[in-house]
Amino acid sequence: MLRPLHSIEQLAAMHLDDLVVHYRAGVIDPVEVHDLTLAQIEQVNPQLHALYGFDSTVTRPLAEASARRWKNAKPLGMLDGVPVTIKDSIHAIGMQWHHGSAAHATGQRGQVDAPVVEKLKLQQAIIMSKTSMPDYGMSGSGVSSSHGIIRNPWNLSYSPGGSSAGAGASLAAGIGMISIGTDIAGSVRLPASHCALTAIKPTQGLIAHTPASDIRSAGIMARSAADLSTPLKLLAGVHALDRYSLPLSPMQPILGARVKCYSDFGFGPQVEAEVVAVLEQASLLLAQQGFNVDAGQFRYDFDAYQSIDDVFKLRAWNEYIHADASYRDLTPAALRQWFQPASSWSAAKVCQFQADVAKGVLQTQQLFEDSDFIMTPVMTVVNFLAEELGPDPSMPLRHCSFTAPFNQSGHPAVVIHAGFSALGLPIGLQLVGKRCSDLQLIELAVILEQALKDQGLAVHWPLWPKR
């Protein structure tokens, strides 16, 4: 049933495609949506530190122009008038880039649009603001020397996850229909788990990104798995500036597909019992939906995360030494302590960990030798305090042993909300598919998400910041 818009609660509960249907019918217009979204930003952002760069003198005229187009039945895109946000690290003309760090002083004003921003603008989406992130994107937290401590609206004492931290916090608070983040170790998937959201890290290259990377992806975050498909179809495709970019593969049937469940890859910290319990319950539900579900038996024969961590240390060290010497030591001390060893590494050391990463990728491929999809925890813990870089600050992304390997291998991965801890904090799970199976993976996520909802797992959006 089509209904007029009266509150942020109503807007946050809508699916993206439903909002467009309401626009087309003239029941809701983009100006109403814009104004509700802006009011929500102004109300909750002082507590969350999730967003920056919002300016109604820029965004409201865009909403007014969109409203006129819808009134005349002449929308210019599938996202015409839809409010979205983009991550600090994504370049956009006129919007400030900080990469989460005061090491970059006051940041840089964008001179070009990244490919994903080009496509959002082509579809006439309204970019309401940028979302905050931790320094260099090198922790799964909301600790930022540029933006402050980014907090989780489920409980302000806890982390929203990262590095797309502000995206997770703001979406959970009802701001925007989708948010575009980036993911190099789990950076859209971790905050989705922390904040009861959904996210996709697509097959490497499916959403073009700059600078081109073989491990960092642009990804989509939303409040429901059903909201991932439309934006993926619009944002996917080949782009001249990303040599890894790919076209979207067509949908294939998935009923009866083989799904292997893993709570142990043979390395990494032990998974907390509450996380394992959520995974086990979801596996039973998925089997009831007609899938062939059983426990995966493969184990890596070495610690595949250690070499990935070395990759991250070297990236962070490189960004640090190229930052302005007057500001670089504003980078959090714990983060500097973590990446400092990279300052003295030899070429032989770098070649060795690169070889270990390649070894890990070959073993990751073996996970799919007897399965179409796998299901895992998102991370080894439920959450950690907002002021911490991670559960183990000496290795800020160590809890990412289930997410980071798929950045190296290029497999698509979707996270959905799957349960709660005894403290009432969200717990997600991860579904991973073979390369280029992104649409099938989303369909699997939609099916499981609905089965969980049918069992009584529901979130009433938006989340108002809680202490």
Per-residue pLDDT at 126 exceeds 90: yes
Phi, psi of 52 (to 5 degrees): -155, 165
Which one, of 192, 148, 182, 176, lies nearest residue 49 by Cα?
Answer: 148
What does the pLDDT average to over 414-435? 98
Please give the tally of structural domains in the chain. 1
Per-residue pLDDT at 120 exceeds 80: yes
Residue 153 is assigned to a structural domain of this protein: yes
Exposure string for 108-126, b = 16+ CB within 10 A, e = fewer: eebeebbbbbbbbbebbbb
Residue 193: CA atoms inside 13 Å, Cβ hemisphere, count? 34
Q: Is 453 helix (H, G, I), strand (E, B) or coil?
A: helix
Per-residue pLDDT at 1 exceeds 80: no
Q: Give the pLDDT score at 464.
A: 84
Residue 46 is assigned to a structural domain of this protein: yes
Count CB-CB contacts under 10 A for residue 267. 16
The pLDDT-based confidence of 3 (bands split at 50, 70, 90) is confident
Q: Give the pLDDT score at 300.
A: 98
> What is the percentage of the chain residues whose pLDDT exceeds 90?
97
Q: Give the pLDDT score at 159.
A: 99
Do strands 126-131 and 83-87 pair parallel, antiparallel, or not at all (unpaired)? parallel
The pLDDT-based confidence of 112 (bands split at 50, 70, 90) is very high
What does the pLDDT average to over 141-150? 98
Residue 224 is assigned to a structural domain of this protein: yes
67-111 pLDDT, tens digit per residue, is 999 999 999 999 999 999 999 999 999 999 999 999 999 999 999
Which one, of 182, 79, 87, 88, lies nearest residue 122 by Cα?
Answer: 79
Q: Give the pLDDT score at 30.
A: 99
CATH number for 12? 3.90.1300.10
Is the pLDDT higher at 379 or at 4?
Answer: 379
Distances from the Cα of 156 to the Cα of 45, 151, 273, 463, angstroms = 12, 5, 23, 11
303-350 pLDDT, tens digit per residue, is 999 999 999 999 999 999 999 999 999 999 999 999 999 999 999 999
352-376 pLDDT, tens digit per residue, is 999 999 999 999 999 999 999 999 9
Tokens of 413: 């991965």
375-418 pLDDT, tens digit per residue, is 999 999 999 999 999 999 899 999 999 999 999 999 999 999 99
The pLDDT-based confidence of 467 (bands split at 50, 70, 90) is low
Give the range of the structural domain holding residue 226, as residue numbers without chain letter: 6-466
Residue 1 is assigned to a structural domain of this protein: no
Q: Give the pLDDT score at 396.
A: 96
Residue 393 is assigned to a structural domain of this protein: yes
Pair 127, 105: CB distance under 8 Å: no
Residue 237 is assigned to a structural domain of this protein: yes
Q: Give the pLDDT score at 422.
A: 98
- Residues 4 and 32: their CA atoms lie apart, in Å, by 10
Q: Give the pLDDT score at 2.
A: 87
